[in-house]
Amino acid sequence: MYHASMQAKRDVRIGKDLVAASAMPLVLAILDEGESYGYAILKRIDELSGGELEWTDGMLYPLLHRLDRLGYVEARWDSPPGGRRRRYYRITPGGRHALSEQRRQWEVVSGALESAWHSFQAASSALGRVEG
């Protein structure tokens, strides 16, 4: 039973429109935790989503460049001792403001969906009792 439940969860496919809509607030929230670089951001997305969101470099780097152009992040190159050169990103005050606004919007959407799903579940339960 547990294995089948886990397999069903792993078969969830997140639509590209939903991934695109959530990309900016997700990356800004990760950078709000602290400065980071591309590969580490990708690993954090995987960790936060339990492996359900599979991002690629081709998805992340254009977004980071866009966030940089918007002034939401700042980028710098650094070469740690013995390490390879990496571009590090950190959130700016403008990025924190954008993140706050995105969070407010997502909370409204999430609340509306929760209400709709609760209503659907209640209606389905009532229908099941009438038919049963």
Strands (E), the chain: 36-37, 73-78, 86-91
Q: Closest by alpha carbon to 32, among 103, 86, 87?
A: 103
Q: Any idea what DSSP says for residue 61? A: H
In whole angstroms, give the CA distance from residue 89 to residue 72. 10
pTM over 0.85: no
pLDDT computed for residue 7 by the predictor: 47
Q: Give the tens place of pLDDT for each residue, 41-70.
A: 999 999 999 999 989 999 999 999 999 999
Q: Which domains does the chain have, with CATH numbers?
A: 2-131 (1.10.10.10)
- Asked if 60 contacts 38 with a C-beta cutoff of 8 angstroms, the reply is yes
Asked if residue 2 has pLDDT above 60, the reply is no
Q: Give the tens place of pLDDT for each residue, 76-129.
A: 999 888 888 999 999 999 999 999 999 999 999 999 999 998 887 766 666 666
- Asked if 96 contacts 42 with a C-beta cutoff of 8 angstroms, the reply is no
pLDDT computed for residue 34 by the predictor: 98
Of residues 34 and 18, more confidence is placed in 34
Determine phi and psi for 17, rounding to 5 degrees.
-65, -40
pLDDT computed for residue 14 by the predictor: 86
